[in-house]
């Protein structure tokens, strides 16, 4: 299927999309056309947060965004939050805290927590729980995930190393 080409800026790089179907979601285009499958597809109906990306800094469910509507916006995915071969503080905290089991929710949670800590490096338990309440995890019961948030927050406050 051919379409009017459009360009997306993902993780600082411009990509032209010149084929496909005009109704494709941003999640679909990231995963299937741009080779960025880190954003996950657990529901594709805006309920689980596994597809979370940043659009001009704001967190969105990329499954609910029409790809062609994201033209001109800065898109950041889990693949783009740390230089290649390194981990961001939140990613490192997930590994250290044992917050990863199957890992399907992990990229979305990492994005949501990154957004939270950008505005608040000392969130209380309820604030953390609310900030990640749009992200379903079926494996962990969230205990180690919240531990990871606490580790990363302490790091951002300069209290600990990771």
Partner 1 sequence: MSGTRTTDRTGVAPRTGGPGIGESVPRPDGVPKVTGSFAFSSDLWHDRMLWGGTLRSPHPSARIVSVDIGAAVTITGVHAVLLHDDVPGSKAYGLEHSDQQVLAGEVVRHEGEPVAIVAADHPETVRRALDAIVVEYEVVDPLTDPAAAETAPPIHPDGNLIRRIHLRHGDQQVVGEVQVEGTYEVGMQDQAFLGPESGMAIPVEGGGVDLYIATQWLHADRDQVAACLGLRPERVRLTLAGVGGAFGAREDLSMHVHLCMLAMHTGRPVKMVYSREESFHGHVHRHPARMWYRHHADRDGTLVRVEASLLLDGGAYASSSSAVIANATCFAAGPYRVPSADIEGVVVRTNNPPCGAMRGFGAVQTCFAHEAQMDLLAGALGMDPVELRLRNVLATGDRLVTGQAITGTAPGAEVIRTCVDHPSAASIAEDPMALPGGAGRTADPAHVVRGEALAVGFKNLMFSEGFDDYSSAACRLADGVATITCACAEVGQGFVTLVQQIAHEVLGVQEVVLEPASTETIGSAGSTSASRQTWMSGGAVQKACEEVRVRLLARVADEHGVELDGLVLVDGLVASLTGDLRVDLVSATSDPIHAEVEFRHAPTFPLDEDGQGDAHVSFAFSAHRAIVDVDVGLGLVKVVELTTSQDVGRVLNPVQVVGQLEGGAAQGVGLAVMEEVQLSDGRIRNASFTDYLVPTALDMPPVEIAALIEQPEPGAPFGAKGVGEPPSITSTAAVAAAIRAATGLALPRVPVRPSDIVFGGGAA
Sheet containing strand 2-10, edge to edge, reads 13-19, 2-10, 74-76, 52-55, 58-61
Nearest CB to ligand FES, comparing residues 82 and 139: 139
| 82 in contact with partner 1 (CB under 8 A) | yes
Determine the distance from the C-alpha atom of residue 157 to the mean position of all C-alpha atoms in its chain, rounded to a whole number. Answer: 22
* Smallest separation, CB 24 to ligand FES (Å): 14
Q: Is 18 exposed, middle or buried (0-12, 13-18, 19+ CB in 10 A)?
A: exposed
Contacts (CB under 8 A) with partner 1, residues 32-61: 32, 35-45, 47-48, 50
Stretch that binds ligand FES, among 5-13, 14-22, 83-91, 134-142 (CB under 6 A): 134-142
Among 127, 138, 143, 160, binds ligand FES (CB under 6 A): 138
Q: Using the rule CB under 8 A, is 76 a contact of partner 1?
A: no
């Amino acid at each position: 299927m051919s379409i009017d080409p459009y360009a997306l800026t993902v993780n600082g790089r411009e990509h032209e999309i010149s084929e496909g179907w005009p109704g494709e979601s941003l999640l679909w285009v990231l995963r299937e056309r741009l080779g960025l499958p880190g954003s996950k597809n657990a529901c594709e109906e805006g309920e689980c947060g596994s597809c979370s990306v940043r659009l001009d800094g704001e967190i969105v469910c990329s499954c609910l965004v029409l790809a062609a509507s994201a033209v001109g916006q800065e898109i950041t995915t889990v693949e783009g939050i740390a230089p290649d071969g390194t981990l961001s503080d939140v990613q490192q905290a997930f590994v250290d805290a044992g917050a990863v089991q199957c890992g399907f929710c992990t990229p979305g949670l990492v994005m949501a927590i990154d957004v939270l800590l950008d505005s608040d490096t000392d969130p209380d338990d309820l604030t953390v729980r609310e900030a990640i309440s749009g992200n379903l995890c079926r494996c962990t019961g969230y205990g180690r995930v919240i531990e990871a948030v606490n580790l990363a927050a302490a790091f951002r406050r300069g209290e600990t190393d990771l």
